[in-house]
Structure 1
């Protein structure tokens, strides 16, 4: 069975440094509840490098939500800011890290990179 959350976090380790995150340092813990308990993931951002691992430890920012809902966030189907406003996600600690975390998420299904659209228009 597919696990979008695990796939998302595992994929972060295969990315190169992100130039948009070069000045960001911090840890974010995700507490993802489900019927059998709570899964914990820790995301470490350090000068453009991002890594994730399973585990429960202190963090600069703690994001809590339902695992099934977070699956939708990691596939671009749900917006974390809108979810925060609806109390589907709670954030404790450094909110700025929550903001930077969003840059790692995929866009909505079917979304296109605006740079690609500009290139296509130039070639017409």
Structure 2
């Protein structure tokens, strides 16, 4: 299992993230690995995050290589910088796509634990 797949599976267990309490929409990650595309669909409803493997309609679609995805999951690459370099292509709601960077800097996901529900959150 790739680090990216493990990241999305762990994200699906967290469920509620107060940093997204004002967010409603869906984001599909199209992760290209040579001739194959793996897709992950995140549906966000005021902080409640549902993750499902596979495609579907989305408010925002991020297309990136598996190498970029792996580097982001490991904390070695910043998503905004990757967008500016053209390593991540965004189709749809750019604001929602930019908010996804918060997911990749979540120590709770890296450790496999939830963030405390009363944690201080900045928007």
> Smaller-chain TM-score range?
0.7 to 0.9
The residue aligned with 1:112 is none
Please say if 1:90 is aligned against 2:51: no
Number of residue equivalences: 107
Please list, as runs of the form range in 1=range in 2, the aligned pairs for 1:8-23 lying within 5 A after superposition.
8-23=7-22
* Paired residues of 1:32 and 1:64 also in contact (CA < 8 A): yes
1:35 to 1:27, Cα distance in 2 relative to 1, 3 A: same
- Per the normalisation by structure 2, the TM-score is 0.80
How large is the Cα RMSD of the aligned pairs? 1.6
Tell which structure's C-alpha radius of gyration is larger: 1
Long gaps (5+) in structure 1 = 109-124
Higher RCO (C-alpha 8 Å, min separation 6): 2
Give SS of 1:14's match: helix
Long gaps (5+) in structure 2 = 108-123
* Paired residues of 1:27 and 1:60 also in contact (CA < 8 A): yes
- Per the normalisation by structure 1, the TM-score is 0.79
